């Protein structure tokens, strides 16, 4: 059995063309990507809060949906904290470098 794969997308990702420091038109800045990610995590938190409130008031009797919303919010928050920790570690490592 022979497996044929197309390696063009992989090689393009590993060897991007040199653009002289210019960013493509559709690329976003790190700050805007970070802001969008934090807003998405906040949305998960608000959705989980609403699901818990709906379950407590009897508007929603499905505990599974509530638990899924809570788990999604928890996972998103934990992931955000891990990214934050990595950014802080990288910053501290850069600050320890001698010039």
Break the chain into its structural domains and give their ranges: 30-96
Q: What pLDDT tens digit does each residue of the chain (99 aa) get?
A: 444 445 455 455 555 555 555 566 678 898 899 899 999 999 999 999 999 999 999 999 999 999 999 999 999 999 999 999 999 999 999 999 988
Cβ-contact 41, 78 below 8 angstroms: no
Confidence (pLDDT) at 27: 83
Name 13's Cβ contacts closer than 8 Å, sequence gap at least 6: none
CB atoms within 10 A of CB 22: 8
């Amino acid at each position: 059995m022979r497996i044929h794969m197309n390696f063009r997308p992989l090689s393009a990702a590993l060897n991007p063309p040199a653009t002289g420091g210019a960013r493509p038109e559709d690329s976003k800045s790190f700050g805007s990507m970070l802001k969008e990610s934090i807003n998405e995590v906040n949305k998960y938190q608000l959705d989980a809060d609403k699901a818990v409130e709906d379950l407590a008031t009897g508007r929603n009797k499905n505990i599974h949906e509530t638990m899924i919303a809570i788990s999604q919010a928890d996972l998103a928050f934990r992931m955000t904290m891990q990214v934050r920790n990595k950014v802080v570690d990288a910053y501290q490592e850069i600050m320890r470098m001698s010039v």
